[in-house]
Amino acid sequence: MAGSAHRVRWGFRAARCGWATMLALLGIGLAGALASAAAFPDPPLDLLVVDARIWTGQAEQPWAEAMGVRQGRIVWVGAKPEPLPAAQRTLAGAQRLIVPGFYDAHVHLVGAGLGLARVQLKDAADAAEFAKRLREFDARLPRDRWLLGGRWDHDRTFGGELPTAAQLDAIVPHRPVFLHRYDGHSGVANSQALKLANITAETPNPPGGEIVRGPDGRTPTGVLRNNAKALVEKLIPPPDAEEIAEALTAAMQEVRAAGVTSVEDMDGSSPSVRRRHFALLQQFERQDRLTCRVSLRWPLSDHAELSRLGVTFPFGSDFVRIGGLKGYADGSLGSSSARMFAPYVHEPSQRGVWVTPPGRMETLIEEADASGLNITVHCIGDEANAVLLDLYAGAAVKNRPRDRRFRIEHAQILRREDYSRFAAGKVIASMQPYHIIDDGRWAEGRIGRERCAAGYACRPLPDAGAVLASVSDWPVAPLRPLQGIGAAVHRRTLDGAHPLGWIPEQKITVAEALRAYTWGSAFAAGVERVQGTLAPGFLADFVLLDRNVLDPSEVDRIAATKVLVTVVGGRVVFERP
């Protein structure tokens, strides 16, 4: 698909791409074009890459050894020219691997950046370590602040038992505390926070949410699931512009070090924070402070805000765009709130929740789609995924034919009969490979082996013809594309219990995983005509790695591979010392 699209675009990009593309149009081979470089009075290149193993991502020309960049775009890629053209800077690859910049089409930039300065609890080995970290962080925090953060994992820290307000009270009783589970779909509050939110035994569950209660069936334990979190979250003071700027700066530092050159920001903040965030992104672009390309998504429920402005997909510049809309169908598997056809194994009375009821979701999708806006929806459970595929199909019939790029975020637990429906409806599966090796520790205890075996379907979805986009969901999971690629290839769970891979028949190859993290995510974002592969006219976004992950001898060291250099728009934004 990518190769045919490249051929169609040669004519459109001739003026911008220079002599190499023009000669390609005239039928002259790329090697011949490069050999004739000295005959053309082009200005010096901004960046010349030589002596590298360049994986272009193009089916018709997968490998090259040199590349020229001017004004932020690739002007040629192929054999090493002799003599070398003049360049402002030369990057010698020393025969190391260069790949297209990783495109992470699902992150939460502000949340991740803020979280870097908050308490970290995900890898707390036990309750004692959990308490120790909270006490130490509390001692450093100004007395008038809420204690926030967490990303706790009750399967790791508490043996599967949920934390409680009473536990937090014993550690931090003097200030409000609200700590999110690492998937973001549950949080635990201490008694002071519950009191501020007026959450009592008489408080009803809000639509799409649950106040977890004690053995008496009435008393809140402190854990709030999905929409119930808002009862506390609305009381937390929002970050100001300075805090958001600091969060963005910290997040971008992590992004460029990971070799990520573009992100889709799923946000999730309040309207006021989102508007500040969008304004700061534009300000950072004007000030040349952005070191990655950012596409910001608006909440699906607020689609009218964009529709009134006439925004259609995709909107913006090469560096800052509005990528469309993001909605929520259900909760998460870890919080036992993903919407399932059958009950949970460990909670027979629970089938999960609809964060957005199907009737309301149908209206939102049809209205937003009719306005020309792109839509992606979070779906974890098998029922949520099946229902959303129905709603997408209905909207496509009702509204005018067009290239919609409908997406499902996570597409995690599926029925086998739904694999082919992704391809039939041209629905992109935006999946997080890291969740395979993380969830594989406990998922069978939630929903059983059979449903797990049909889910996390990295292999059958592309085999059925669907486009697979691999993403991180940072900070829910680490921002490490190479770890994600290793997870998709090996499927070895973090607890070491599956050395040959959890549900090994779902494994994919290194090349397939790499393509999903580059071209697949660019396609999901609607920018595959200029990103995701390395070709003339494309944005010069790429990374230099310290080992060739495509070499079979390196297959067991994918996750240990380091990013040496990250280049965005022909500018080196990260170099490992």
Query: Per-residue pLDDT tens for 39-82?
Result: 334 789 999 999 999 999 999 999 999 999 999 999 999 999 99
Which pLDDT value is given to residue 25? 32
Query: Per-residue pLDDT tens for 244-260?
Result: 999 999 999 999 999 99
In the 8-state DSSP scheme, what is residue 203?
Answer: P
- Measured N-to-C along each axis, helices 358-370 and 382-398 cross at an angle, to the nearest 10 degrees, of 40
How would you class 549 by CB atoms within 10 Å of its CB: exposed for 0-12, middle for 13-18, buried for 19 or more? Answer: buried
Nearest to 282 by CA among 316, 259, 250, 306: 316
**Largest distance between two CA atoms of the chain:** 85
Nearest to 253 by CA among 44, 453, 109, 399: 109
Question: Under DSSP, is residue 573 helix (H, G, I), strand (E, B) or coil?
Answer: strand
Question: Low-confidence residues of the chain, pLDDT below 50?
Answer: 1-41
Which pLDDT value is given to residue 240? 87
Query: Per-residue pLDDT tens for 357-388?
Result: 999 999 999 999 999 999 999 999 999 999 99
Which pLDDT value is given to residue 26? 30
Question: Under DSSP, is residue 325 helix (H, G, I), strand (E, B) or coil?
Answer: strand
Which pLDDT value is given to residue 182? 86
Cβ atoms of 509 and 489 within 8 Å: the answer is: yes
Instruction: Output the DSSP codes for 28-73.
Output: --HHHHHHTGGGS-PPPBSEEEES-EEE---SSS-EESEEEEETTE
Tokens 């889709």 correspond to what residue?
A: 264
Taking 3-state DSSP, the helix, strand and coil percentages for the chain, each rounded to the nearest 5, stand at 35, 20, 40
Q: Tell me how far apart the alpha carbons of residues 404 and 395 are, in angstroms, rounded to a whole number.
A: 10
pTM reported for the whole predicted model = 0.85
Which pLDDT value is given to residue 145? 86
Which pLDDT value is given to residue 339? 98
Which pLDDT value is given to residue 38? 41
